[in-house]
Amino acid sequence: MKRTLYLLGTVAALMAITFSSCRKDPLKDMTEEESRIYITNHDSQANFTSYNTFSIVDSVAVFAGGSDAAKKALTTYDKQLISAVTTQLQQRGYTLVSKSAKPDLAVNLTRIDNSYTNISWNPGWWGGAGYWDPGYWGFPGGGWGWYWPSYYTVYQVRDKQTAIDVFDLKNPKGDKFTAVWNALWRGSGVWDTGNVNSMVQASFDQSAYLTRNK
């Protein structure tokens, strides 16, 4: 009986060793590029051929360091982001105009460092203090707001992200402007300047409907 127990013990130990070494860890051999995901959403009601012009923010709103309020920044990364998104939209047939020229579309850019908290996320949750308010876009008075349609995906996040929001300034619904397109990048290296072009490219590639050319 003692021998039996001894043998069983050995078998159990062997099993434990095999068990722990058997699991292939997906994160172990993952490159930064492989770690990233690009999520795009759009308003299914929007007619993307009906817009002609767009304007883009002159800097990027940054939520970081545990603060609820964003600060505007214009780093090398931010400049690259503005230029890459502008180029893509122009390739899709939209004309860049200044924000005073009443653009059809407003492009807001945001970086979010949410690694300090565990917050239940809705698209646009970053649309708080310090975010691009409609006043920036020439709609003063404080009554105006942004609106993300409710079918936008809800993700639980705890990392660094970058968001691109495109709003329809032409057809406000009441006092709200609808987000007609949104891209969100998550994963390792989303704040690296060298990755901006490929991430912008991927986001537009998977959004073929976002075009004025039909």
Partner 1 sequence: MKKIKNWLLIFAGCIAAQAVSAQSRPPLSVDINYSIAQPLGSLKDYSNKTSFHGWTAGLQYMLNDNLSVGLRSGYQDFYERVPRAVYPDKQGDVSAVQSRTLQVIPIQATIGYAFTKASSPVIPYANLGIGAASMNYEKYWGQFVEKNNSWQFMVSPEVGINVPFGAYSPVMFNANVRYNYAPYKYNEITSFNSIQGSIGLKFHLN
- Contact residues toward partner 1 (CB under 8 A) are 3-4, 7-8, 11, 14-15, 18-19, 22-24, 26-27, 30, 33-42, 151-153, 186-188, 202-203, 206-207
Q: Which residue has the tokens 């130990």?
A: 13
Quote the DSSP letter at residue 94.
Answer: P
Residue (16 or 129) nearer to partner 1, CB:
16
Cβ at position 55, least distance to partner 1 in Å: 24
Cβ at position 191, least distance to partner 1 in Å: 15
Residue (37 or 129) nearer to partner 1, CB:
37
Residue 166 host element (H or E)? strand 160-168
Residue (33 or 58) nearer to partner 1, CB:
33
**CB 157 within 8 Å of CB 42:** no
Cβ at position 166, least distance to partner 1 in Å: 14
Residue (40 or 53) nearer to partner 1, CB:
40
> How many whole angstroms separate alpha carbon 56 and alpha carbon 188?
26
Q: Does the CA dihedral 72-77-83-89 come out positive or negative?
A: negative
Query: Side chain identity at 214, as an amino acid letter?
Result: K
Residue (53 or 203) nearer to partner 1, CB:
203
> How many whole angstroms separate alpha carbon 3 and alpha carbon 42?
68
Cβ at position 59, least distance to partner 1 in Å: 27
Cβ at position 72, least distance to partner 1 in Å: 27
Q: Which residue has the tokens 């959004």?
A: 207
Residue 43 CA to its chain's centroid (Å): 15
